[in-house]
Structure 1
Amino acid sequence: MYWDWDEKTGFRELVVDLTIHNDLDSFFGEHGIYLMVVQGRISEMTFYFGFQTDVADPDTWESRGKGVIFNRWGTRDLANVRLAEDGYSQSSGHEGNFVGARRGYDWGAGAYRLRLAPEGADTDGEWFGLSVTELASGATTWIGALRFPYPDRGLRATIKHHTYSTIEIYGSRPIRPIDIPEFSVSIEPPKGDGRSATHGATVYSLRLGQILNTEARFDHTTGTVFLQAGGLTRRKAEPGKIRF
């Protein structure tokens, strides 16, 4: 799902409200599900963040269970990462050079708010921190912060006006589509500096077109986008442009 704003100036704060409709407690081992809540760019550097069912330890590649990850590309330097006391980092080149903050988070069915916002600056760039709020309890968890370079002298780092959300199946070897557990999420249009995304587009992977038990659809009555994958999911909605 692509999200966009009519105003092309970018923004400093990004907030996403979503609801996860079912638990995935049994999906561990050779495969996992990554709900990529946002992929975007800050100062021309790609970043993404979201929920994973099975976050790997970057040193041993053993499972650390459910958690939230926050990555940025263009560096391997862990000086660009700030962590929670029980968080951990990753620096790798297996998907291009990136660093990331991780923190265990026992997410499940429920409503959440994810917030990305500035958390200070220094001579080398500006820090953006990620937090997750469980809306039912109001409990907020800080995941970590990453430093992004300034786009130019005297300019502040900004989040670009074009972002992306998806469900990703990852693992060490192929999996049959029917063996992917059913997973359903609804996402409200993200808000940049309090302004909701104004338009977007639902899409399906061109590389994995044979995985037909996936669906992305827009509910015109609620203004909500539903993403669903796995199990007996039936694709009824065609990809297309959306105006919120």
Structure 2
Amino acid sequence: MRILQELDFAEERVLEGQSAPSGLVRVTVSPAFGRMFVVPRLLDFRNRFPDVVVEMDVSARHVDLIEEGIDVAVRIGRLSDSALIARHIGDMRMMTLASAGYLARHGTPQTLEELRTHRRIGYVYQGNIVEWEFEREGRHIAVDGGGAFRTNDAEHVRAAVLAGLGIGHHASWLFTDVLASGEVSQVLEPYAPPPLPIAAVTAAGRRMPSRVRHFIDFLAAICADEPELKIEGS
């Protein structure tokens, strides 16, 4: 049976190579990543593959790819699920930041001990407050991410930082424009952690149609073109 199945897959791959990709690709991405990076470039993908339909599940939750019929997910961070196949497509740099107004009122923390005395804007994922991870001289250090305000949405973290509610710790790409304008400043730069990998993830044991392979290539190209997403050292 397995040999017959492999022959069927081989025949399908030959047929796919003779025709343009078509059909539905179901992808799940976080709201901020989808809005800022994927949707603005979708016309490029559409022009190249006009017969492929993209359905985007926009959610910060951890989606079960098999149960929910998702072809590809964009995941950030270290993966622990062995039932997934991951392609490293980019890196996300974490940054600790605060508004100019907040720093003028409360001062700039110089150490992690000082950070613990400041108001912190927490990020909630899967019902848990995410710890802030730092690194100093090769040593990993975690700080409680709870604080004066918590949210499960990255763009609300950005809004809270800009409103001066406290210090935030999130993806650098959320703040590129306001860092350039001086509205927000990075703090604790010597403690910045290594970047987190961005992966395009599919379920293991499934045949991958060409339309899905092309969409993963499209996601990789997006990351390669964005300075804040490209793989470090590439």
Structure 1 and Structure 2 fold alike (TM over 0.5): no
Q: Is the radius of gyration larger for structure 1 or structure 2?
A: 2
| TM-score, normalised relative to structure 1 | 0.28
- Greater strand percent: which structure? 1
